[in-house]
Structure 1
Amino acid sequence: MQPSIPATLREQTLGLLSSGAATSRSDLVEALRVAPSTVTAVVRRLIEEGVLLEEGVGRSTGGRRPRILRLRATDGVLAVAELGGRHARVGLLSPAGVLRRAEEVPIDIAAGPEQVFGAFKETFTRLQAADAPGQPLLGVGVALPGPVEFPGGRVVGPARMPGWSGLDPARHLSTVFDGFAGPVLVDNDAKAAGIGEYVTRSLAARDMIYVKAGTGIGACLVSDGQIYRGGGGLSGDVTHVRVADSGERQCSCGSRGCLETVASGAALARELSAPGLPDIMVAVADGDPAVVTAVRQAGRLLGVALSGLVNFLNPDAVVIGGALSSLGVYVAATKGVLYERCLPSMTESLSIEASVAGPDAALVGLGQLLRTAADARTS
């Protein structure tokens, strides 16, 4: 059996070729900043898998004319969705995991899996009709805003998903998608987004803490392209870490003083009596002093919760995603506290910044996880 390609190299190679940023092996060497032998091994494996074709020659830049690489046209699509409390982001991916279309639609997570997954199926069907009519469905993936056992996919005690605890969403998805018998994958939203962020970034960050800061807060550790899941697959629940200066506010989990009660979008909306995150973002952009002060304090408290993790894990990067990552004052406040509270040896080369994958991080991550699941089924 041929050795597998590291997830990051595979994703980045396919992304560069699909976008046109690279068309040859030499382009890949320059873009990926790896040895020519590494690129040769990756390209050879992808050609053997039938994903790539190498044919024709390009323009010479002083040496031998390069062979041209291109993705092989392959029928099939992946259906993916990231679910929130009030919205779902639905995507259509190529078999190689390249996002071709995405659309955000309103949902109510409390309505239950049948109604929510029905909205997912309806939206995906519309995207497929516009972009890939008649192409077969190869996999279905969903990211949920709550604790999810992996790989089983059972939802475990979600604080913001009434009626979902103990359910097997994969079984419901198979039914909604007309008895689909291919890979069906369900994961936590922060974990899926963490993988999507990891494969979108350069190879420099081997160990990355990813935080999804939106209405709620979730996190994960990605190490060498793999999520650290813990004994029961439920790692990363930073939202219920107890923090000082929380005011002992009641949390949705039933406890008091959790990070979620002071640093999440829901907490900010409650404190500021705002209808939701979009209004808070507009107020920050307008320089509203009360809102800016509240957002800065929320970011600082996130930094307090993360400082112990940084000192313990010594990651290469801390990445903040989710809706709040678009607020520079929130990210800057988190960064400031991490530099203040962590050991200098831990922050000397630590990258702390907002997401580069943006709102599609979880969709890209689900594509990577589905391909991994499909490879496992055929190995």
Structure 2
Amino acid sequence: MHQPNSATLREQTLDLLNSGAATSRSDLVEALRVSPSTVTAVVRRLIEEGVLLEEGVGQSTGGRRPRILRLREIDGVLAVAELGGKHARVGLCTPGGALRSTEEVPIDIAAGPSVVFKTVGETFARLQAAAAPGQPILGVGVALPGPVEFPTGRVVGPARMPGWSGVDPDDYLRRSFGDVQGPVIVDNDAKAAAIGEYATRELEPRELSGDMIYVKAGTGIGACLVSDGQIFRGGRGLSGDVTHVRVADSGELQCSCGSRGCLETVASGAAVSRQLAEQGKPGMSLRDIIVAVGDGDPAAVTLVRQAGRLLGVALSGLVNFLNPNAVVVGGALSSLDAYVAATRGMLYERCLPSITQSLTIEASVAGPDAALTGLGHLLRSTVS
């Protein structure tokens, strides 16, 4: 059996204890499927760091009564937000990274960082006043729909975010969120969502997949490779920008990046909206498209299926090259079975049988809060 690395075991241990899925070392041995000595080493390290406390005893199941493990209580909250082109999803996390409350508000990403972060800060203030009045802000995490250097958080050449290129969001966030005692983390939305997806799957009863390609398909398309519990960032942290990969059958359409024939022009929510407008149905948002597909609108269903097939075309080379255990489709379009099924079908058609024999291709289990969950995990590792 594959042995996870120490960093992955640490995160999995914290997730299991934070969710209540495990309360003792024996629970961790069973859930993590590792040796008792490995669990003892991880737990000892977390106790030394002051993250865990071991106190009290549980009920015996035939042997010595187990000592109870619990996360050390920290007073404070983590502020997390995912920005889209026309909306922001803002959340409040416990210091352990568990999402407590969320609110979605309209924004216009093209209005620029000052306006957008002011709205996000005001939204978080409402959540804090309702759920955690007087508690300090231990950290802030924001996911952006464009290329982000990591760990600097600097926005690099975003095609769909006019006025954001070169922006360092740290100062904006500290001003917008008030007195932040801890770190400010800015990441790409697909990478944050991939972290949240993997963390959610750690708590699933089925065996956790190994290497995973996560695709966030919404207005645009982003992706991330997760290997051994760690996301692959690349040299500057800019990996995964599949939205600008050229694909066949794209019609050489002009893309927001200035090039032609990009995946974004044919497989994204923005592409489907544009194509529907060309067929006499203008002004349809991504939510409108999802409703139309649910209602069986022939034009919407046909275009969504074609978009899913072209996503599969773009991913097939990556799947053949990387041989992942799973391809997970997240983002708003993942709620449409027609889109995910079309992607799956094209991957089976284009990839080698030896590659797809044990490949899982499915929709996200973390849902719309995947990026917020991922940001909570990133922040938790810095404040624990």
**Partners of 2:147 and 2:261 in 1: CA distance:** 19
> Taking structure 1 as reference, are residues 357 and 7 closer, same or farther at Cα in structure 2, changes over 3 Å only?
farther
**Partners of 1:347 and 1:308 in 2: CA distance:** 12
**Partners of 1:8 and 1:78 in 2: CA distance:** 22
**Partners of 2:181 and 2:318 in 1: CA distance:** 40
**Partners of 2:243 and 2:301 in 1: CA distance:** 22
Which of the residues 346, 349, 352 maps onto 1:340? 349
Report the equivalent of 2:222.
Answer: 218
**Partners of 2:233 and 2:51 in 1: CA distance:** 30
**Partners of 1:20 and 1:154 in 2: CA distance:** 36
Report the equivalent of 1:260.
Answer: 264
Which of the residues 314, 335, 338 maps onto 1:326? 335
Question: Does the CA-based 8 Å contact 1:249-1:257 persist in structure 2?
Answer: yes
* Secondary structure, aligned partner of 2:139: strand
**Partners of 1:271 and 1:6 in 2: CA distance:** 48
Report the equivalent of 2:143.
Answer: 143
User: Deviation of residue 45 (structure 1)?
Assistant: 2.2
Unaligned runs of 5+ in 1: none
Instruction: Please list, as runs of the form range in 1=range in 2, the aligned pairs for 1:354-369 lying within 5 A after superposition.
Output: 354-369=363-378
Question: Does the CA-based 8 Å contact 2:18-2:96 persist in structure 1?
Answer: no
Cα displacement string for residues 69-117 of structure 1 (whole angstroms, at most 9, x for unaligned residues):
2222211221111100111111111222121222211111111111111
2:275 matches 1:275: no
Amino acid at match of 1:41: A
* Secondary structure, aligned partner of 2:234: coil
**Partners of 1:52 and 1:152 in 2: CA distance:** 30
**Partners of 1:186 and 1:6 in 2: CA distance:** 25
User: Deviation of residue 41 (structure 1)?
Assistant: 2.3
Identity percentage of aligned residues: 80
Question: Does the CA-based 8 Å contact 2:319-2:351 persist in structure 1?
Answer: yes
User: Deviation of residue 304 (structure 1)?
Assistant: 0.1
> Taking structure 1 as reference, are residues 18 and 60 closer, same or farther at Cα in structure 2, changes over 3 Å only?
same
Report the equivalent of 2:280.
Answer: none
User: Deviation of residue 210 (structure 1)?
Assistant: 1.0
**Partners of 1:373 and 1:12 in 2: CA distance:** 16
Report the equivalent of 1:88.
Answer: 88
> Taking structure 1 as reference, are residues 132 and 6 closer, same or farther at Cα in structure 2, changes over 3 Å only?
farther
2:135 matches 1:132: no
Q: Return the TM-score normalized by structure 2.
A: 0.91
Report the equivalent of 1:68.
Answer: 68
User: Deviation of residue 122 (structure 1)?
Assistant: 1.2
Q: Return the TM-score normalized by structure 1.
A: 0.92
Unaligned runs of 5+ in 2: 278-282
**Partners of 1:66 and 1:165 in 2: CA distance:** 54
CA-atom RMSD in angstroms: 2.0
Question: Does the CA-based 8 Å contact 1:8-1:199 persist in structure 2?
Answer: no
Question: Does the CA-based 8 Å contact 1:304-1:341 persist in structure 2?
Answer: yes
* Secondary structure, aligned partner of 1:201: helix
* Secondary structure, aligned partner of 1:28: helix
Report the equivalent of 1:302.
Answer: 311
Question: Does the CA-based 8 Å contact 1:8-1:198 persist in structure 2?
Answer: no
User: Deviation of residue 261 (structure 1)?
Assistant: 0.8
Question: Does the CA-based 8 Å contact 1:303-1:338 persist in structure 2?
Answer: yes
Amino acid at match of 1:366: L
Question: Does the CA-based 8 Å contact 1:209-1:219 persist in structure 2?
Answer: yes
Instruction: Please list, as runs of the form range in 1=range in 2, the aligned pairs for 1:11-90 lying within 5 A after superposition.
Output: 11-90=11-90
User: Deviation of residue 303 (structure 1)?
Assistant: 0.3
**Partners of 2:43 and 2:130 in 1: CA distance:** 31
**Partners of 1:35 and 1:348 in 2: CA distance:** 30
Which of the residues 230, 233, 237 maps onto 1:233? 237
> Taking structure 1 as reference, are residues 42 and 102 closer, same or farther at Cα in structure 2, changes over 3 Å only?
farther
Which of the residues 255, 260, 277 maps onto 1:251? 255
Question: Does the CA-based 8 Å contact 1:210-1:318 persist in structure 2?
Answer: yes
